[in-house]
Structure 1
């Protein structure tokens, strides 16, 4: 069954992380990602493509996101935009991994907030850790339409026990269309530390495509297993362990855009190696 003219979509995607110091460490893996229009949840449920707030092969629970309550997720986003002095969104689309066979975990989910004319005016980066905490970074899109967005935010929540809380995220974002790309540079007082990339290619939202997804390990379970496996590898490499700083179970903060000239701090020069342009752009996931 094809999805009839839906904004929601399925993406074949891949994730890459590369740490630069004190020892190099890199991993890549393939995942499936969904772009879910929050106005289409009931329709996706009726079509049998994605169960809404109920069990299923693929299911989307609003309490898996936002403040974790049963309050409508779009309502939460609208309130958050208002609190940060931004206009109301005509529609909101969430890039994430819904539950598969009951398993679900999103280390990162991204909300794209649109005006009625399809202008994407704000981005919400929702980061979750394995300690039961979640933080949403709200950033107004100030760049021109049609070019990758460049944004930044101060890190406010511990994510990895091998990276200190103090630091800054730099985002380079291509909103979802036929492809999407989320590139994250993380740097601390000593300079660039980590590069993470999540990118994907749109595929038909069809039942047969989704059934093939069941031949893969559930994405949420796979993500959690890989997080702990990579942590074990870092421990074997004697990367210093840093006790996570506890924060509120759910909090939000505001980031900002930045100019191309400000993308790379003068002290570090223009990036090479993992921060080179080919790693920023690359080819979309196949």
Structure 2
């Protein structure tokens, strides 16, 4: 198993401000890995974490690195083979649900070239935002992807995605005409991906992908029951090099 991998035991919060207030927090965990050295668990533990290119952008038959670099080239960025680090959820017992995966793409010099925020919705669609971050990991991009049935694609995302170290601190703020209708944060502590830590995370959040997906859907039902209007899902055109 790769010694470069780490697990972040996370607390994830969603806060909705308008047109009605709603907030919830749940526990989960994410893997932080080098895409060239994806962890392979001992056979008996393998159901707890499997990493597949098909769970992310691009050609399912290609490697994650190949697909990330292909996407960057479609956006006018030429990678030089530097490290690509990914924060994501693995497949657990054959299931995966990744509301957000992050890719930090480096040059061979060690300088950060860019960040990709790969967003999945509960309808099986994905969208990649290319982020040109500042020294603090901040970037702003127009919202272009339907995620919640209660939010259209208007507005601007202000993301803060510094490369995680001992602490993980990610935030996404949706801004519209001077107000912030939605804020999501993910915070966590780094732990080496040892067998005891993998088992501890799996016990703390059993079948994490199914649990997270169920929690998000339950919150949606609660909002619907409170008569929050549902926004019709628009057609999402496929991005070049993103499947």
Q: Which residue of 1 aligns with 2:72?
A: 81
SS at match of 2:198: helix
What is the CA-CA distance between 1:32 and the residue it aligns to? 0.7
* 2:214 corresponds to 1:220: no
Q: What TM-score does the superposition give when structure 2 sets the normalisation length?
A: 0.91
Q: Which runs of 5+ in 1 are unaligned?
A: 254-286
Q: Deviations over 1:201-226 (max 9, x none)?
A: 10121101112233232121011101
Q: Tell me which structure has the larger Cα radius of gyration.
A: 1
- One of 176, 184, 194 as aligned partner of 2:172: 184
Q: Deviations over 1:29-85 (max 9, x none)?
A: 1111101210102xx22x63999xxx6321111101003622211111111222222
Total equivalences in the alignment: 239
Q: Deviations over 1:251-273 (max 9, x none)?
A: 269xxxxxxxxxxxxxxxxxxxx
Give the whole-Å Cα distance in 2 for the aligned partners of 1:115 and 1:49.
Answer: 34
SS at match of 1:229: helix
Task: Tell whether the 8 Å contact from 1:172 to 1:182 is kept in structure 2 after alignment.
Answer: yes
Q: What TM-score does the superposition give when structure 1 sets the normalisation length?
A: 0.78
Q: Which runs of 5+ in 2 are unaligned?
A: none
* Residues 109 and 252 of structure 1: CA distance in aligned 2, closer, same or farther (over 3 Å): farther
Give the whole-Å Cα distance in 1 for the aligned partners of 2:178 and 2:124.
Answer: 29
Give the whole-Å Cα distance in 2 for the aligned partners of 1:189 and 1:105.
Answer: 32
Give the whole-Å Cα distance in 2 for the aligned partners of 1:92 and 1:78.
Answer: 9
- One of 16, 19, 24 as aligned partner of 1:19: 16
Give the whole-Å Cα distance in 2 for the aligned partners of 1:49 and 1:174.
Answer: 34
* 2:74 corresponds to 1:96: no
Could you list the structure 1 runs, at least 4 aligned residues long, displaced by more than 3 angstroms after superposition: none
